[in-house]
Structure 1
C-alpha cells in the first residue's frame, strides 16, 4: 500500500501542536474515536513509550499496541504498530508557517500477511478518510484549546 500523507495548517504555535500529538493523553482527548489509552510502559512520553489505543470504528471496538520509536521535540514523533497483519509506521511532523503550524502525517502501511495484502487495495480509501478525520479533529482541538 503506498504511503498516505495528510496535512493541516493549524492556528496554534508549534510547541502547542507538538504537545497535542506527542502527549498521548492530549492526543486521545483530541481524537473522538479513541475510547481508551493504556500505557504498557512506566514512561508515558518519548522513545520507548508503548501503549494500547482502543478505538470505536463503525460501531466496533479495535485495540492496537503502538510504540514511540522516534521523538524530536517540537519537530516529529514516529509511532509504529504491528497490527492485524500490517506494519503501521506513522510520522507526525510539525513546522512553523508564520503564525500557524503545519502538521503533516505520513503513514506507511506494509501488509505482512496474505489476508492483509488482499485487503490493502480495498482499505486504502477507508484509511485515507480516517486519517483526514483524525487530522481535522486535531486541528479543531488545538485551535479550541490554545489560549491566544
Structure 2
C-alpha cells in the first residue's frame, strides 16, 4: 500500500542530493531531529548496511533499525524497517531536471496484524508531516549547507 509520498525540486547537483540521502551520516546531519546513528554492520553504506537511528518525534526519542536493501548510485536507495508490527518500505529516488534535482520519496506500509493495520491509519497524518519535514531539511541542507562545504 502506498502510504505516503513527497517530492522536492532542489537547486543542487544530483550527486550532492544523492550523497545526502544515501549516506545516513549525511542524512543525520541534514535532519536535525535525528539525534544519533549506530551502525550494526561494519559497512556504512550500500546494500546490506544496517543501522539504528534515534530521532526526536513529538518531544520523545524513538529508535528504529533500518536496512539498506537497494542502492543504485546516483539513482535510488531503498530502506526497510519493521516497527509497531508494520514493515516500512521507503524508496528515495533522484533525477536531474534542467539545473535542479528532483528528490522523490515513496513509503509503503505493510501491517503484519490487525492492530498494526488500525495504528497505521491513525498515525498517517503524523508520519506524513515528519516525512515532509525531513524532505524540507534535506532540501535546505543541499541548497545551503552542503554546497558551502564543497
TM range (shorter): over 0.9
| CA distances 1:47-86 after superposition (whole Å, capped 9, x unpaired) | 0000000011111111000000000000000000011111
1:134 aligns to what? 134
Task: State the 1:114 CA deviation.
Answer: 2.4
For the residues of structure 2 that align with 1:72 and 1:31, how far apart are their CA atoms? Answer: 22
For the residues of structure 1 that align with 2:82 and 2:124, how far apart are their CA atoms? Answer: 17
| CA distances 1:33-57 after superposition (whole Å, capped 9, x unpaired) | 1000000000001000000000111
Give the alignment of 1:1-148 within 5 angstroms.
Answer: 2-144=2-144, 145-147=146-148
Q: CA RMSD in A?
A: 1.2
Number of positions where the alignment pairs a residue of Structure 1 with one of Structure 2: 148
Give the secondary structure class of the aligned counterpart of 1:146: helix
Task: State the 1:119 CA deviation.
Answer: 1.3
**Structure 2 spans left out of the alignment, 5+ residues:** none
**Structure 1 spans left out of the alignment, 5+ residues:** none
For the residues of structure 2 that align with 1:125 and 1:2, how far apart are their CA atoms? Answer: 14
